[in-house]
A = this chain, B = another copy of it.
Amino acid sequence: MAVSLPNVLVLKPTPFITLLGEQFFASKKFTFLKAYDSPLPLHQFLSTHSHSIKAILSSVGAHVTADILQLLPEVGLVVTTSVGLNQVDVPECRRRGIKLANAGHIFSDDVADLAVGLLIDVLRKVSASDGYLRKGLWATKWDYPLGSKLGCKQVGIVGLGNIGYGVAKRLEAFGCSVSYCSRKRKPFVSYPFYESVSELAANCDVLMICCGLTDQTHHMINKEVLSALGKEGVIVNIGRGAIIDEKEMVRCLVQGEIAGAGLDVFENEPDVPEELFAMDNVVLSPHIAVFTQESFKDLRDLLVGNLEAFFTNKPLLSEYED
């Protein structure tokens, strides 16, 4: 007799499963139920399966709203492929007693690596020079602009969690001076602390956005902060696009009010402001800070581990805490 396994709802295709391959996710404790494979409208699909769905897998852009939860009374866990849970209605989950598990710290090193990579790339014009050379311009003309030295830079880190701290430790090895702002001063570091992000921006050459997106951080990097960063200043964002007022940042870049940007995240992904495409003082990547084979396999283990723990009433491996 076939045993009916509990369903884990997958709302949208996620590169995590697509790139790693579905066979990696086989489990004897649950099956994935993909809303996007069904011809039914989402609400009808959810109503049809409302009692078999016990958990939800959510990735960036796959919103878990109060409306959806309303239709799924049996859901006891939302597990995310991301560190940030800004796509999940966390208060509604709490109200319904739904547990939350995120990607924990699995990605911290990869994200910190990319943050430093984007910074080196912007300052030393790596992607721009790669394009210059592939266009065959090296042999025909010599107008390649000078880059800027990494080592003497004052770097301001916005959000000194696992990722921000990883960025700081890496940049120290390049001779950068680190300061930071964060919700609270961290007792374990001696880096200068600023309570206001504007004050941090005014005292650094590079602003690294390493915090999560919340109501408090939405558009936190606004006109005032960008103006404090100034026309020699560079911004790197590996947090979430909407932490920066993107329209204002693009205006500053267009008008030379800041010097450059390294951006892995955008306010309306996958849309990227077209003005950026013509600039060689910006480096753009499609939200790939966590995209390594190694971390994807670690995440697979964590994600399947969290789901199996939930279905066997064991403690979650990476329960999310606000």
Contact = CB atoms under 8 A, between A and B. Distances in A.
Contact of A113 (B129, B174, B293): B174
B126 A121 contact: yes
A144 B286 contact: yes
A170 interface: yes
Contact of A286 (B123, B138, B149, B294): B138
A175 interface: yes
Contacts of A126: 114, 117-118, 121, 126-127, 283, 285
- Chain A, interface size category, equals 35 or more
Given A120-B116, A277-B134, A283-B126, A292 B19 contact: no
Contacts of A109: 149-151, 174-175
Interface string A208-232: 0000000000000000000000000
Contact of A114 (B113, B124, B131, B285): B124
A120 B130 contact: no
A175 B134 CA distance: 32
* In the complex, the 5 A-B pairs of residues with the closest C-beta atoms, listed nearest first: A117-B120, A173-B173, A149-B294, A129-B285, A138-B270
